[in-house]
Amino acid sequence: MLSSLPSSALLRNLGAAWSQASKSRTLRPGQASLTTVAIPLPTKITLCDLAPNAGAVKNRRRVGRGPRSGRGGTCGRGTKGQKARSGNSKPARGFEGGQTPIHRLFPKRGFNNSFKKDYQILNLDRLQHWVRLGRIDPTQTITMKVLKDTRCVNNIKDGVKLLAQGHEHFDTQLTLEVSKASPAAMAAIEKCGGKITCVYHNRLALRALLYPHKFTKIPKFAKPTDLEVLAWYSDPTNRGYLAPAGTIPEPITITPKSLVAQPSP
């Protein structure tokens, strides 16, 4: 009877009979059905399972391995010349193609002192002018930040040094804190009843003083590490901030140059 059916119909009848038999069959516990495909899962991942992503690693370019490789002979560098030589990369600083470079062409004289301090100069006449204009409050302590914010001085690199130009017009009682000051400027400040203190700032302390908004926490200001600078700021004659407490500095007296007796010719 089955042989009289067409081949396609025979396959359909066999498939239907097979599925009906699989549905009616009772499965034991743990036994998979006929239509279930079991896929084995990895039980352990080892180092041999690790691999880079596709395209992340490229093979090294091998040159000089014959003309069939495409990079044989001249290795893809063309004919002879500077660009065909090995080690030909970015030229060194100061190289001028083989001629004598300019840093060897001219002689040098002197040296640059790496310990030199570049102080911004402030004279008493400009300070007095700022006070009279009302830009500086004479009742407050005038620090280098106040001088910078009021534009009395600009471009502070290593500090501010106070000089005595225009001391004859200075008549305001002030309290100042600068890096250094000349003896004549100290005498003019104290003559008007003011007070001046010379304070040391390294690069970090000066930046924290001038730009405190850039710091989440203001660092502790360091003392001078150079012994000569430490001795200078510890001397009460220089009005240093490291002078012993309770020391009364001697008053500074400056004789104007016009009253100094000139030697007779």
pTM: 0.60
Domains of the chain, each with CATH number or no CATH: 120-254 (3.100.10.10)
The mean pLDDT value for 128-142 works out to 94
User: CA–CA separation, 49 vs 41, rounded Å?
Assistant: 14
What distances in angstroms separate CA 75 from CA 60, 61, 82, 254, 260, one per listed residue?
A: 14, 10, 14, 82, 85
Q: Mean pLDDT lowest for which of 18-27, 68-77, 160-169? A: 18-27
Q: What is the pLDDT of residue 30?
A: 58
Q: Mean pLDDT lowest for which of 24-38, 127-141, 248-262? A: 24-38
Closest C-alpha among 157, 158, 162, 212 to residue 182: 162
* Residue owning tokens 């040296």: 111
φ, ψ of residue 207 to 5 degrees: the values are -70, -35
Q: Spell out a b/e string for 70-106, using b for 16 or more CB atoms within 10 Å of the CB, else e.
A: eeeeeeeeeeeeeeeeeeeeeeeeeeeeeeeeeeeee
Average pLDDT, the chain: 84
Q: What is the pLDDT of residue 18?
A: 59
The mean pLDDT value for 59-64 works out to 89
Q: Of the spans 57-66, 194-203, 252-261, which averages the highest pLDDT?
A: 194-203
Cβ neighbours of residue 209 closer than 8 Å, sequence gap 6 or more = 143, 144, 145, 201
DSSP state of 18: H
Residues above pLDDT 90, as percent of the chain: 56
Cβ neighbours of residue 125 closer than 8 Å, sequence gap 6 or more = 165, 166, 169, 170
253 pLDDT band, cuts 50/70/90, is confident
φ, ψ of residue 123 to 5 degrees: the values are -100, 160
Q: Is pLDDT at 197 greater than 90 in this prediction?
A: yes
Which is higher by pLDDT, 250 or 77? 77
Bridge partners for 198 per DSSP: 178, 240
* Residue owning tokens 């009616």: 24
Residue 143 backbone zone (phi > 0: left; psi -120 to 50: alpha; other: beta): beta
DSSP state of 153: S
Q: What is the pLDDT of residue 187?
A: 93
